[in-house]
A and B are shown apart, each in its own frame.
Chain A
Amino acid sequence: MGDIDCLDPVREALLDDLDTGFAALYDAHRGLVFSTALRLSGSWADAEDYTAEAFLRAYRALSGYPPERIAELQPRAWLMTILMNVWRNCARAKSRRPPTDLREEPVDGVDPGQDVEADAVRRETGDELAELLGRLPPEQRAAVVLRHVVDLPISEIAAVLKIPQGTVKSHVSRGLKRLRALGGVR
């Protein structure tokens, strides 16, 4: 990709008008961001939180960027970098809190229909495989999800995770190997 990317329509829209550009950014990448968040976190509610947070952070950052900065932006990789930060921060914050606190968290804004929806998705798309992903170490899970669930190229994953391409490849292959092993054990 890289080469054709210089005519990124999302970037053009962002340069034109921040709010219209944001709508274009959201439309172009909402599935990518949400799928990644869902398969990293393993939870529908968390995936909604992370996606909303990532897009809000993106908007707030964009509103402070000068046009030169936006003109150089690779919107997809940039957005995914923000999502990975959100995921890491939230995962860290959660691990610090005792589990009882999590259950006491306010659940406002959560549509009761979502559980049903989430169940349906899990059944349709392989509950087991999604659960196995959760048993991978975070760096392997991230690499496998970005490469094989949402189909990002290795070079972009390296940029998003800020690791060398060779490391991405080894995380992916170790992750896949582990998934096969975990799947076989059952």
Chain B
Amino acid sequence: MTQDPLLTGLAALAVDAPESLLERIAARWVRVPAPIGELSVASTDQGVAYVHHGEGFAEAFRKRFGRPLLPATRPPAGLLPALRTGRLAGLRLDLRGLSPFQRSVLDAVREIPRGEVRPYSWVAARAGRPKAVRAVGAALASNPVPLLVPCHRVTRSDGMTGGYVFGTPAKERLLLGEGVDLDRVRALAGERVFYLASDTTGVVCFPTCHNARRITPAHRHGFRDLAQARAAGYRPCRTCRPGQEAVR
């Protein structure tokens, strides 16, 4: 109709939204296999944000993140290897919604190697708040990315497995699958042994530390607490780092 150059010029100012913009707004979901059965995983352009087991994934995600959830064409890079091997190389996590304390708790948990466990108090000390053991439990209970941040590797100092976002049986299955000898940990705890020391190396470890597993029975000494081990002349292992609070 009109040939008014001003109106033509204004109409030409309309543009399409950049292709990548939807990824800033919506999360994408996929279902992937895991050692405890199928998982639903949501990720944003920043990385994996949420891992869910069982029913109610979409509702739980919506409640927690308030973000649209659309199907993904493929799992995010690095997710499948991470679930298979426990190694997170190449996998990004989106932990934007977490408090600084929650993040430092998750960072500490990420240091626990596959096949080993650490007590809640160790995580509290690594996260910089040695007295916040209960808060660590709460932070792990709301871990948005279980398995990827291996909160199943945090167990009670009395040798019990402790709670888990996906339930204690799932936690035990995961730990057994990684080769943690839960029966042995419990048996040691029954004898009030929470640390193992080697008289050949002079080092004291958590029982599941790979260094502790190598100690032969003849050279192995059990301790109830670290002070006793220290008094007997042992120094804390530099790999599993028991007694974080003292080492700093």
Contact = CB atoms under 8 A, between A and B. Distances in A.
- A and B associate in one complex: yes
A25 B14 CA distance: 18
B21 A109 contact: no
Contacts, number: 94
Interface residues of B, number: 27
Given A51-B21, A121-B15, A148 B10 contact: yes
A48 B13 contact: no
The dominant DSSP class at the A interface is: helix
B57 to A, nearest CB: 12
A48 B15 CA distance: 12
B26 interface: yes
Looking at A60, A148, A151, the one whose CB has the most chain B CB atoms below 10 A away is A148
Interface in B34-70: 45-46, 58, 62, 66-70
Contact of B68 (A22, A39, A151): A22
Nearest to B4: A176
A129 B21 contact: no
A38 B15 contact: yes
A26 B46 CA distance: 20
A126 B15 contact: no
A35 B25 contact: no
Contact of A148 (B11, B16, B20): B11
B26 A22 contact: yes
Given A26-B22, A63-B62, A126-B12, A31 B68 contact: no
Interface string A104-117: 00000101001001
Contact of B66 (A56, A149, A183): A56
Interface string A140-158: 0000110011110000000
Given A59-B67, A60-B66, A111-B20, A125 B15 contact: yes
B219 interface: no
Given A23-B68, A31-B17, A117-B18, A126 B24 contact: no
Interface residues of A, number: 40
B21 A39 contact: no
A78 B25 CA distance: 18
Interface in A50-80: 51-52, 55-56, 59-60, 63
A30 interface: yes
A180 B70 CA distance: 45
B25 A31 contact: no
B66 A59 contact: yes
A149 B13 contact: yes
Given A19-B68, A48-B18, A125-B13, A148 B7 contact: yes
A38 B15 CA distance: 9
A183 B4 CA distance: 14
Given A31-B16, A125-B12, A148-B10, A59 B68 contact: yes
A63 B69 CA distance: 12
B24 A109 contact: yes
A33 interface: yes
Contacts of A63: 62, 66
A151 B11 contact: yes
B6 interface: yes
14 contacts: A31-B17, A34-B18, A35-B14, A56-B66, A109-B24, A109-B45, A111-B20, A114-B18, A125-B12, A126-B9, A126-B13, A145-B10, A179-B6, A180-B6
Interface of B: 6-7, 9-18, 20-22, 24-26, 45-46, 58, 62, 66-70
Interface of A: 18-19, 22-23, 26, 30-31, 33-35, 38-39, 48, 51-52, 55-56, 59-60, 63, 109, 111, 114, 117, 121, 125-126, 129-130, 133, 144-145, 148-151, 176, 179-180, 183
Given A22-B68, A26-B25, A55-B68, 12 more contacts: A23-B70, A26-B26, A33-B17, A34-B18, A35-B14, A38-B13, A38-B15, A56-B25, A133-B13, A149-B10, A149-B14, A151-B14
